[in-house]
Chain A
Amino acid sequence: MRSRFAGTSVLYLFLVILAILQLFPLLWVFDYSLLKSGDLFGPELLKLPLVPQWGNYVRAWVDGKIPRYFMNSVIVVASSVAVSALISFCLAYSITRMKWKLRPVAVATVTMGMVVPIHTTLLPNFLWFNYFGLINTHMALIIPYVAFTLSFNTLVFMGQLRTLPRSMEESAFMDGASWPRIFWSVVAPMTGPAIVTVCLMTFLNNWNEFIMAYTYLSSDELRTLPFSIIKFQGAYRSDYAIQFACMTLVAAVPLVLYFFFSKRILAGVTAGALKG
């Protein structure tokens, strides 16, 4: 028994060390965001911020234009989450429930959306969006953000819809309910968990997206949050503490969301991917 106990202790110790290693980089950034820039060049790995330099955060907030970028992110991401969830739900419903000839084509398109590397559309979409005057507007992000989350979301909804019986819709139909009514008061309530999953995943993906935002937007007024980190690199090259404060602020939103919804996120991540 004794050796068994020792073995278990070693195992637990190993697991905890691994967890610390996984979190350490974040802790490091947070730590130095509260210190002076010069402290970074000392020999310590971590240093207790005896006099926390909250001023770093104030400067990151103000000079990094975080409130503006934050609002832009909210606008772009909230719209894309709403639109993507709605139309992927419709698509999934028509694929799993309805009978129509071109269904295989729709399934193939959805599958293709999972496989095609999204970055291959960067060059042509720049021209194509420009043709419609969309470049340097938020629409240039909302459209691809919807398009590139559509496949995953459709698969998640398909997975959920397959587990639900059709009898509810059928009896509602018999009672003379209209389609919008069937959708809104019969189907939607049953797919609650999938809706939460889809919204969270779409939010996280799009909140963190950088390269399209960097490519399709050129005016500072419209930029989204991840850009603030890049901006600081040019303007405050040696002001590391402010850069670190900025990184902490940008990381905060997904972390808070994750803290509250970790159970749903962890369950949701695997739902679409493994069933598809």
Chain B
Amino acid sequence: MKALFGNGRVICALVLPGLAVMVFALVVPIGFSAYYGLTDWAGFGKFHMIGLANYLEILTADPVFWRALLNALILMLVTIFIQNPAAFALAAVLSHLPARFSRLLRTVYFVPAVLSLVVITKLWVNIFNPTYGILNKVLHLIGLKSVMISWLSDPRTALGAVLWIILWQGFGWALLFYYTGLMTVPSEIEEAARVDGAGWLQAHLRVIIPFMFPVISAVIVIDVISSLRQMEMIFLSTEGGPGSLTQFVSVYLYQKAFIAGAYGYGNALSVLFVVVAVGLTLVVQRILRRNDDAQ
């Protein structure tokens, strides 16, 4: 069958379009960023090569960059340690319900995930609005008459509010991943554990979660990537403010390049960001794989 599956011309015809698009829209641009990251270009006019000065400044003298990474890290941890367990528990409950009811609920829980981030963000910006937003109205209804918080611009609540929107939208995804994973668990496994005297919770902790480890790992990797990726939501709600409390790297590099006129600096941020994202993903994958082998 070499003539069939080893036909060089056919392989080229199949592979080239895909690779060409990837190279054009993904690989070359990163090369561009690597080049402009070494310059002091403002986006127009002349510029000079300034070596690694941008990178040095970002790493040693740019608190906003570190704040943005810290926020991504906080989001990652909250997603993995709070949202995921909640989604897992709910998925476990749903998997024991009658099929029709479970399907209806899963469909409803996933609705926010199919909507545009622009709609989601603007919706929550309105909910969080201090004067007509529904959140303050609810607080008034339950007796907290004096509460008048501008959730997205108050330094005490801004990060929490922003994280809430992201977690709310992502919840349906996590639920769906875990539900699909749970469906692959053979029912004998749980039954065997039950026969051995394990309760519902114990059966899940001791038998089902270890069995689901590959799924959990995959979801964690997705969480890491998507935590770093946040942009539209921030861009359309707080723009990183107040100060840089809710800043994320993508928003920051955009603002630097297109608003502050530091195009070279913005590109250096882009390059560092790619390195951080790829590096972190590889590290997390390696840690998870090692755990998987250990079991």
Chain B positions 113-128 with a Cβ under 8 Å from a chain A Cβ: 114-119, 122-124, 126-127
Determine whether B163 belongs to the interface, using a CB cutoff of 8 Å to chain A: no
How far does the alpha carbon of A253 sit from the alpha carbon of B29 in the complex, in Å?
32
| B137-177 vs A, Cβ < 8 Å mask (1 yes, 0 no) | 11011000000000000000000000000001001110011
User: Which one of B46-54, B103-111, B237-245 contacts A?
Assistant: B103-111
B209 sits at the interface (CB 8 A): no
B108 with A19: CB separation less than 8 A: yes
Known interface pairs A45-B141, A98-B10, A226-B118; A19-B15 also in contact (CB < 8 Å): no
Instruction: Tell me the total A-B contact number using a CB cutoff of 8 A.
Output: 255
A235 beta carbon closer than 8 Å to chain B? no
- A94/B14 in contact, CB under 8 A: yes
Q: Are A121 and B25 in contact (CB under 8 A)?
A: yes
A45, A86, A250, A262: residue with the most chain B Cβ atoms closer than 10 Å: A262
CA distance A78 to B138 in the complex (A): 42
Q: Is the CB of A28 within 8 A of B19?
A: no
List B contacts of A116 (CB < 8 A): 26, 30, 274, 277-278
Q: Give how many B residues have a beta carbon under 8 Å from the other chain's beta carbons.
A: 93
Residue contact B114 to A19, C-beta cutoff 8 Å: no
Q: A179-B10, A229-B119, A247-B123 are in contact. Are A273 and B107 (CB under 8 A)?
A: no
State which of B185-193, B221-229, B287-295 sits at the interface with chain A. B221-229
Inter-chain contact A208/B29, CB cutoff 8 Å? no
Cα of A89 to Cα of B126 in the assembled complex, Å: 42
Determine the distance from Cα of A239 to Cα of B234 in the docked complex, in whole angstroms.
Answer: 23
Quick check: is A240 within 8 A (CB to CB) of the other chain?
yes
Whether a CB of chain B sits under 8 angstroms from the CB of A143 is: yes
A243 and B232 CA atoms in complex are apart in Å by 18
Rounded to whole Å, the gap between the CB of B255 and the closest CB of chain A is: 11
A115-B281, A120-B253, A124-B32 are known contacts. Are A26 and B111 too (CB-CB below 8 A)?
A: yes
B residues in contact with A45, CB < 8 Å: 134, 137-138, 141
Name the interface residues of B256-280: CB closer than 8 Å to any CB of A.
Answer: 257-258, 263, 266-267, 270-271, 273-274, 277-278
User: Complex: how many Å from CA A11 to CA B20?
Assistant: 53
Q: Is the interface of A mostly helix, strand, loop or mixed?
A: helix
Interface membership of A144, Cβ < 8 A: yes
Q: A166 CB to closest chain B CB, in angstroms?
A: 8
Bound-complex Cα distance A268 to B21 (A): 24
Across the interface, name the chain A residue whose C-beta is closest to B13.
A90
Q: Which residues of B contact A247 (CB under 8 A)?
A: 119, 122-123
Q: Which residues of B contact A26 (CB under 8 A)?
A: 111, 115, 123
Most buried by B among A147, A204, A215, A276: A147
Does A112 sit within 8 A of B, measured CB to CB?
yes
Which of B19, B119, B271 gathers the greatest number of chain A CB atoms within 10 Å?
A: B119
Would you give the 0/1 interface string for A234-276, flagging 1 where the beta carbon is closer than 8 Å to chain B? 0000001001100100110011011000100111011001101
A226–B116 contact, CB under 8 A? yes
Of the residues B3, B126, B277, contact of A117 by C-beta under 8 Å: B277
Chain A interface size, as a band, is 35 or more
CA distance A116 to B273 in the complex (A): 9
The yes or no answer to B235 lying at the interface (CB within 8 A) is yes
A45-B138, A146-B21 are contacts. A25–B124 as well, Cβ < 8 Å? Answer: yes
B266 touches A123 (CB 8 A): yes
Determine whether the beta carbon of A91 is less than 8 Å from that of B126.
Answer: no
Report yes or no: B4 in contact with A170, Cβ–Cβ below 8 A.
yes
Q: Which residues of A sit under 8 angstroms from B117, Cβ to Cβ? A: 208, 210
B119-A250 in contact (CB<8A): yes
Task: Decide if A266 touches B278 in the complex (CB within 8 Å).
Answer: no
The contact of A19 among B105, B180, B236, by CB within 8 Å, is B105
B123 and A25 contact, CB distance less than 8 A: yes
A120 touches B14 (CB 8 A): no
Closest chain A residue to B125, Cβ basis: A233
The reply to whether A106 and B19 form a contact with Cβ atoms under 8 Å apart is yes
* Residue of A40, A87, A270 touching B18 (CB-CB under 8 A): A87
Question: Residue on A with the closest CB to B109?
Answer: A22
Q: How far is the CA of A232 from the CA of B218 in the complex (A)?
A: 40
Chain B residues, CB < 8 A from A150: 18, 21-22
* A181 sits at the interface (CB 8 A): no
Question: CB-defined interface of B1-39 with A at 8 Å, one 1/0 digit per residue?
Answer: 111111110110111011101101111111111001000
Measured between beta carbons, the chain A residues less than 8 angstroms from B119 are 226, 229, 247, 250-251
* Chain A to chain B: the 7 pairs with minimum beta-carbon distance, closest first: A147-B25, A124-B32, A208-B116, A119-B250, A91-B18, A124-B29, A90-B14
Binding site for A on B (CB under 8 A): 1-8, 10-11, 13-15, 17-19, 21-22, 24-33, 36, 90, 93-94, 97, 105-112, 114-119, 122-124, 126-127, 131-132, 134, 137-138, 140-141, 168, 171-173, 176-177, 180-181, 215, 218, 222, 225, 228-229, 231-232, 235-236, 249-250, 253-254, 257-258, 263, 266-267, 270-271, 273-274, 277-278, 281
Footprint of B on A, CB under 8 Å?
11, 15, 18-19, 22-23, 25-26, 28-29, 40-41, 43-45, 86-88, 90-91, 93-94, 97-100, 106, 109-110, 112-125, 127-128, 143-144, 146-148, 150, 154, 166, 169-170, 173, 179, 204, 207-208, 210-211, 215, 226, 229-230, 233, 240, 243-244, 247, 250-251, 254-255, 257-258, 262, 265-267, 269-270, 273-274, 276
